[in-house]
A = this chain, B = another copy of it.
């Protein structure tokens, strides 16, 4: 009754029928699912025909016909790309935007419906985040981006909030040595965000200094993405970026209130060293030679 595999399969059955219900509601708009999917891909900002085909896994002949049918309905327009006339771009017409909005409304209504039946929506959402991260584990992209970008700032905000929860006396950003964003941009450093299907679920900063080493800062993994060894992947990415930048020595500080972090560092070749700064929060210091 409690076999793990049976529980996963019960989950599969539950979501299969939920997904099927959404597909059925899509069919209610009188268009085959294939055409609806292409329309939605375009509505969500994909315009390059080859990219859509790849994303949806369609044959080029089939894709071409689906585009034609959407064009005949007056929902999209296609044009050759300016930089390469072999490739085509597709975009929604006014009618297409209306139709796309109708599909969006169906999707949103379904999502809303699931949430509305639940008196603890945040618990349900956290569980969904966790499952979604687990299922898309191998599709998590590690993207280098500006530490001031929206997604980076979101990660940092979550990171600070978590420190506030886990440190006995809270955490005040202004007391910490908040690294200058410029130190986490090439060529001095870098900032890497893990993105799972548009949602940022982790980050790490590589901060350049003038003291002959660089620092690893702001390693964070979203609660729903823990257990997927994402921290290790982020650290690997930061280290290889450091090597690219010609950095040979890395340091970092952390706090014993975050035991999983310390364990990660110890198991990946970092060795503990004496305090090397006067930041009030950390009480553990590590170094790794590349």
Contacts and interface: CB of A to CB of B under 8 A. Distances in A.
A79 interface: no
Interface in A205-244: 226-229
A207 to B, nearest CB: 24
Interface stretch (A80-88, A121-129, A248-256, A265-273): A121-129
A4 B125 contact: yes
B18 A135 contact: yes
Interface residues of A, number: 58
A115 interface: yes
A175 interface: no
- Summarize A's interface: helix, strand, loop or mixed: helix
Nearest to A158: B2
Contacts of A120: 226-227
A130 interface: yes
B134 A1 contact: no
Interface string A1-27: 110111111111111111100100000
Interface string A129-151: 11111111100000000000011
B197 A132 contact: no
A199 interface: yes
A134 B124 contact: yes
A111 interface: yes
Interface in A99-127: 107-108, 110-112, 114-115, 117-121, 123-127
A154 interface: yes
Q: For the complex of A and B, list the 6 residue pairs with the smallest distance between their C-beta atoms, beginning with the closest.
A: A8-B111, A120-B227, A127-B127, A14-B132, A11-B128, A15-B15
